[in-house]
Amino acid sequence: MASKPTIVWFRRDLRLEDNPAWNWAVKQGGPIIPLYIHAPQQEGVWQRGGASNWWLHHALKDLDAQLQEQGSHLIIRASKNPLQTLLKLIDTHEVENISWNRCYEPSQVKHDTKTKKALQDLGIETHSANGALLLDPHSIRNKSGKPFQVFTPFWKHCRALELSKPESLVGKSFASNVDSDSLDSLELLPTIPWDKTMSSFWEPTRKGALSLLKEAIHKSSHYETLRDIPSTDGTSRLSPYLHFGQISPQEFFHTVREHCPDREKADTGILRQLYWREFAAHLLYHFQHSQDLALKPEYDRFPWDFNEDYLRAWQRGQTGFPIVDAGMRQLWQTGWMHNRVRMIAGSLLVKHLLQPWQEGARWFWDTLVDADLGNNSMGWQWVAGSGADASPYFRIFNPIIQGKKFDPNGEYVKKWVPELSGLSKNQIHTPWEVTPIELASAGVTLGKDYPHPIVSHEDGRQAALDAYASYKQQASDK
């Protein structure tokens, strides 16, 4: 058994329960140094947005509280070079082992490979594990030995594989006299208090995760019925907790499966969404270019028509399409948007307005508390028609029909676009069709209180189809 310290290098696994890297360190028997290195300037790594930084602050604070319950505390180091930080700790505290859980984004894989080799060359034992996904994407291949690019066969393949059960160990020994930077010194919180609504909407702690996990068990029976209704709390809302590793996917899976009233409904409903998360990580791991470029390279030649005014109106929830604007305002105020509305809002941006999907991806990355590179890239490329399992480009969501179908009483719109709350359910998704007298009685003047549609659905749809036809023609001419 080890007598010298083991570093547990926390990254996006901010929990002690069912944490493979933590468990391995506990089993070594020596004192543990629980370490978090804040290195936002690492080469190639996407810089976290403001919403993600807000969540990270609270998740780190909560992890420190978990460690204090076991008689330790979180060591924080701000660094431009994580490897140099590790080497300094190794030298100062005579560290023998380092463990961490893998990150699967392309830049992180590159950095981790370099770090592991450098440490092993110095005789340091390293241990890396999968603490972020149900299955390691490196091991998942189709019958031809290639990565999957279609979800259904991926899901069927993965469902047949046995998943490890959660394992949790308690630390018994911790290194002392290890210097730490303060959490506040990382400056993760906003300097102006735009986070008030988010603070009332979320509890970004493990306790908050377990509360929502308990709710997910009850939601599993009617998940398929309610998950598309944005006015109803029908989804798990566990995505940010999974992203930051405050619960493990194994814990999510086994807890729901063991306690849900209908296992088949859970497997094909709420638990199926975990495999979509796996699929996104699988695609990014095997097709590294897809974080910035189209998975299908030919779509990089699509004739987008960048317009800063269009983009800004969409970002601010001022497109004149109520269901889209409701979603964009929910995003701005809470750091989260209902998944159905994400698709509707994304479709409007890339199709009706012909804006590059990367612009939407960047905005979501900055404003979502659950911003995840794999999910974000896959979702936007699905909408744009350039990714795996993608919606064909010529399939264009009608934001009016979508609003009426999934928010039939206008409850979602009224909550997030309150200036329209005086309109009836038959009027709220098409305020431009309401007579001036009726608008006035509802306290609305179009163009003043709420914008006219940025483009008509018919014109936007036709522009998208024309662009697609032009793209296909250019491709066939080459």
Q: In this structure, is residue 428 part of a structural domain?
A: yes
| Burial class of residue 302 (count of CB atoms within 10 Å of its CB; 0-12, 13-18, 19+) | buried
Asked if 206 and 141 sit in the same domain, the reply is yes
Task: Please check whether residue 362 lies inside any domain of the structure.
Answer: yes
Query: Is residue 241 pLDDT above 90, yes or no?
Result: yes
Shared domain for 215 and 319, answered yes or no, is no
345 is a domain residue = yes
Inside any domain, residue 292: no
Alpha carbon distances (Å) from 439 to 175, 324, 415, 432, 450: 68, 20, 18, 9, 11
What's the chain's average pLDDT?
95
Tell whether 373 and 429 lie within a shared domain: yes
Let me know whether 317 and 417 are in one domain: yes
Total count of domains within the chain = 3
Question: What's the CATH number where 383 sits?
Answer: 1.10.579.10
SS3 260: coil
Q: 408 with 424: CB under 8 angstroms?
A: no
Place of tokens 């399409």: 321
The pLDDT of residue 207 is 98
How distant, in Å, are the alpha carbons of 11, 281, 387, 419, 452 from that of 290?
23, 11, 8, 39, 35
CATH code of 28's domain: 3.40.50.620
The structure tokens listed for 301 are 């030649």
161 and 110 in one domain?
A: no
Instruction: Indicate whether 315 and 363 sit together in one domain.
Output: yes
Q: State the distance between the two ends of the chain, measured CA to CA, in whole angstroms.
A: 65
Residues 66 and 53 in one domain: yes
Residues 44 and 122 in one domain: yes
Residue 283 has pLDDT above 90, yes or no: yes
Q: Which of 235, 257, 286 is the last residue of a domain?
A: 286
Q: Which residues contact 412 (CB under 8 A, 6 or more apart)?
A: 230, 231, 323, 326, 338, 341
Query: With bands split at pLDDT 50, 70 and 90, how would you rate the model's confidence at 478?
Result: low
For residue 2, pLDDT over 70 is answered with no
In a domain, 455, yes or no: yes
What does the pLDDT look like over 148-191, one tens digit per residue? Answer: 999 999 999 999 999 999 999 999 999 999 999 999 999 999 99
Q: How many helices (H) and strands (E) does the chain have?
A: 21, 5
What is the value of pTM for the model shown?
A: 0.96
Range of the domain at 275: 133-166+202-286
Q: What is the pLDDT of residue 389?
A: 79
Residues 281/133, Cβ–Cβ less than 8 Å: yes
Q: Residue 210: which of 29, 66, 3, 48 has the closest Cα? A: 66
**pLDDT band of 367, cuts 50, 70, 90:** very high
My answer on whether 58 and 95 are in the same domain is yes
Say if residue 32 is in the same domain as residue 147.
no
Residue 1 in this model has a pLDDT that exceeds 50: no
Looking at the fold, whether 337 and 232 belong to one and the same domain comes out as no
Mean pLDDT over residues 349-360, rounded?
97
Bridge partners, residue 77, by sequence = 37
* CATH code, domain carrying 249: 1.25.40.80
The residues pairing with 377 across neighbouring beta strands, listed in sequence order, are none
Nearest 5 degrees, angle CA 260-CA 262-CA 273? Answer: 70
In a domain, 123, yes or no: yes
pLDDT per residue as tens digits for the range 45-62: 788 999 999 999 999 999
Same-domain check for residues 239 and 337? no
Overall average pLDDT of the 26-42 stretch: 93
Q: Does the residue 62 lie in any domain? A: yes
Contact (Cβ atoms closer than 8 angstroms) between residue 447 and residue 277: no
pLDDT of residue 390: 72
pLDDT at 475: 72
Determine the average pLDDT of the residues in 71-87: 96
